[in-house]
Structure 1
Amino acid sequence: MDIGLLSVSMNVYSTKRLAEEAEKLGHYIELIDHTKCSVKLGLGRPEIYLGEENVTNEFDAIIPRIGAKVTRHGAAIVKQFEMNGIFSTARSLGITRARNKVRTLQIMARKGIPIPETLFSINPDNIEEQINLLGGPPVIIKLQEGTQGLGVILAESKKSAKSIIDTFYKMNTSILIQKYIEESNGEDIRIFVVGHKVVAAMKRRSALGEFRSNVHRGGDTEAVKPTAKEQYIALNAVKYLGLGVAGVDLIRSKKGPLLIEVNASPGLQGIEAATGVNIAREVILFVQKNGGRRK
C-alpha cells in the first residue's frame, strides 16, 4: 500500500515512528509537506500538487499530522484527497472541529458527553457576570485554538480573571472560560483511540508549580487503565467529531469524568514511553485495514 504522511518534517518523533512501522509492515510511505501543497481547480478533475509534482492519485491512504498554525490549509488539502476517494485517518471536518475547542464542546454537549461548565462570549462589558455564571474564581481561561497547554491560564482571583479576559477581548482573541475543577489536582487522562478501540491511556500530572499537565509543560506520565465510562466517552467523542485516530483528554471530577479536549494529531512520544504500547503500529494497521478502497 502507498501511504501519504502529511507532516512538515520526518524529524518529528510521531512522524518518524509512523514511517518506521509502515515500512516494517511492508508499505511504501512518503512524507508530504502539506504546507507546500497546492490544489488546482478549474477544468477537469481538481488536482493536488506537491511543488510541481501531481500527487492526486499517488496514494491509497493518507495520515494527516496537521499543525495548529496551518489548520485551514492542511484541512483543505485533506479534503481534496477525500474528494478523490482516498482514505484518511482523520476527516478534514473532524480536524477543523477538534482544533476549535468551543465547536468541540458544543458537539459534545449536544450529544450528552459530560464537559466542565464552560462559557464563551465576546462582550467586554459584563466580564464580572461571566465569571459569576461559573461560580466565581478560580477559572480557567483558554484560547479557542491553543495546543500543548499553550494559551491556558489559571486565574485565581476575580481581579486577575477580569484583567486577563478584558485583555483578550481587546486583542479580539477568541477565548473560552471554564470552571476550575479543583479535585482534578493538576491531573488528566489522555486516551488514545484508533478506529473503534482504545489502544492506550496515560495519566498526566502537572509539574511542581504548574497546573497544566501537558507533557510539553513538564508533566509526569504513567500508564493507566481508563474506566468503562471514560472509554465510552473517548470512543464516542472521536466518532462524533469524525476522526479515526485521536487523543481524548479527560479530567476526573466529583461528578465523574469530564471531557476537556480532543486532539486530531496526537503526539506519540509521551504515551508510547508511558505505556509501552506500539501505537504507531496500531495506526498503520488501521490504515492497512481501511485504505485502498476508493470511495
Structure 2
Amino acid sequence: MKLAILSRNSKLYSTRRLVEAARERGHTVRVLDPLRCYMKISEDGFEMHYKGMLLRGYSAVIPRVGASITRYGCAVLRQFELMGCYTPNTSDAILKARDKLRTHQLLAAQSIGLPATVFGDNPDDTDDLLSMLGKPPHVIKLSEGTQGAGVMLAEKLSAARGMVEALRGLRADFLVQEFIEEAKGADLRCFVVGGKVVGAMRRQAARGDFRSNLHRGGTAKAIMPTRDEIEVAVRAAHVLGLNVAGVDLIRSKRGPLVLEVNSSPGLEGIEAATGMDIAGIIVDHVCASDIAINATRQRRKKAATSKRAKPPVKKRKA
C-alpha cells in the first residue's frame, strides 16, 4: 500500500517510527511537509502537488499536523480526503480536537466527565465568571495550547484576575477550569487506536509543577487503566471522530475526567513507557481500513487498464 505521512520534520521520533513500521510491513511510504503541498480545485476534480510534482496513487494519509499549522495542514488533509485517501483522523476531527472549548462542549453534551470549565469575553463579567468555579486554585488554559504550554495555575483569586486580564489584553482565547487537587499532579494518557485503548501510561508532574506533560519534565510509567477509564477514553475519541488519539484523564472523586484529547499524540513517551509498537498498531489500523484497501484496488485496476490500453511498440527495422 502507498502511504503518505504529513509531517514538517521527517526526523521527529513519531514520524520516524511510523515510517519504520510501514516499511517493515512492506508498504511504500513518503513523508510530505504539508507546507510544501499545494493544490488545484476545479469541477474536473482535485490535484495535489508537492515540490513541482503531481502526487498520485496514495491510498492513505497519516496526519502529524502541528498546532502552529493547523489551518493549512487541515486544508491539505481535506484535499487528500476528497481525492479518495483514507485518513485515521479527518481534517474536521482534528479541528474539533484542537479547539479546547469546542472539545469540552462536545464531550459535555455526551455526559463525559470533565473539570468544570468557564469561558467569557467581557472584563465586567470576570468576577462572576470565576465565582462559578468556587474558591481557587483555578487552572487557566489557552484554547489552542499544546504540551502544557499556555497552562497556568492561579492559587489566589487576585492572581486569577490578573492572568485573565493579561490574556484578554493579548486578545488570546482561554478557558478557566476547576483544579482537581486529589489528582496530585498526575494524569493518565490513554492511547486510542481504532476504538480501542492499545496502551496507557501514568504521568507525574515534576516537583514544583502541576503539569504532567513529559515535555515539561514529567515522568511516565505504564499502567492498566480501569474499565471506567477505558470507556471514557474510547468515548471521548469517538465523539470527536478520532481513530488515533491520546486521551488525557485525571482521577477524581467523581471518577475519570477528560483533560484533553490530542489528535496528534507523540509516540516516544508511550512506546518507552509500555515497550509496545504503537507505530505498528497505527499502521496496521490504517492499512486495514476499507477505504484504504478500496483505494489501493482502484489504483491497481486503473494501472492495469492503462497498461492494457497501450498499443504495442513496433520495433524499427535495422
Larger Rg computed on CA atoms: 2
Q: How does 1:159-174 map to 2 (within 5 A)?
A: 159-174=158-173
SS in 1 for 2:293: coil
Which residue identity is paired with 2:47?
A: E
Partner of 1:186: 185
Distance 1:23 1:262 in 2: 29
SS in 2 for 1:292: helix
Q: CA deviation at 1:43?
A: 4.8
Q: CA deviation at 1:293?
A: 2.2
Distance 1:169 1:183 in 2: 30
Distance 1:130 1:260 in 2: 20
Deviations 1:131-176 (A, max 9, x none): 1110021100000000000000000001110000011112110000
Is 2:45 aligned against 1:51? Answer: no
Partner of 1:292: 293
TM-score normalised by the chain length of structure 2 = 0.91
The answer for unaligned runs of 5 or more in structure 1 is none
SS in 1 for 2:108: helix
Which residue identity is paired with 1:193?
A: V
The count of aligned residue pairs is 294
Distance 1:237 1:85 in 2: 26
Is 2:108 aligned against 1:109? Answer: yes
8 Å Cα contact 1:142/1:152 also seen in 2:
yes
Partner of 1:5: 5
Partner of 2:303: none
Distance 2:18 2:182 in 1: 36
Partner of 1:70: 69
8 Å Cα contact 2:38/2:49 also seen in 1:
yes
SS in 2 for 1:293: helix
8 Å Cα contact 2:59/2:84 also seen in 1:
no
Which residue identity is paired with 1:216?
A: H
Worse overlay, 46-55 or 265-274: 46-55
Q: How does 1:246-265 map to 2 (within 5 A)?
A: 246-265=245-264
Q: CA deviation at 1:204?
A: 0.2
Distance 1:58 1:215 in 2: 37
8 Å Cα contact 1:86/1:292 also seen in 2:
no
8 Å Cα contact 1:204/1:213 also seen in 2:
yes
8 Å Cα contact 1:87/1:293 also seen in 2:
no
Distance 1:150 1:265 in 2: 16
8 Å Cα contact 2:140/2:177 also seen in 1:
yes
Taking only the aligned residue pairs, the percentage that are identical comes to 45
TM-score normalised by the chain length of structure 1 = 0.98
8 Å Cα contact 2:5/2:63 also seen in 1:
yes
Q: CA deviation at 1:243?
A: 1.1
Which residue identity is paired with 2:238?
A: K
Deviations 1:13-46 (A, max 9, x none): 0000000011101111100111111121235212
Worse overlay, 174-183 or 44-53: 44-53
SS in 1 for 2:106: helix
Partner of 2:310: none
- State the superposition RMSD in angstroms: 1.1
Which residue identity is paired with 1:11?
A: K
Deviations 1:187-244 (A, max 9, x none): 0000001102111000000001111000000001010111111111111111111111
Which residue identity is paired with 1:42?
A: S
Q: How does 1:82-93 map to 2 (within 5 A)?
A: 82-93=81-92
8 Å Cα contact 2:88/2:242 also seen in 1:
yes
Worse overlay, 81-90 or 258-267: 81-90
Q: How does 1:1-295 map to 2 (within 5 A)?
A: 1-55=1-55, 57-290=56-289, 291-294=292-295
Distance 2:46 2:59 in 1: 17
Deviations 1:60-119 (A, max 9, x none): 101000000000111111111111111001111010000010010100000111111001
SS in 2 for 1:80: helix
Distance 1:54 1:141 in 2: 45
Distance 2:88 2:5 in 1: 10
The answer for unaligned runs of 5 or more in structure 2 is 299-318
Which residue identity is paired with 1:127?
A: T
8 Å Cα contact 1:120/1:175 also seen in 2:
yes
Distance 1:210 1:159 in 2: 20
Distance 1:271 1:170 in 2: 38
Which residue identity is paired with 2:38?
A: S
Distance 2:102 2:205 in 1: 26
Which residue identity is paired with 1:236?
A: R
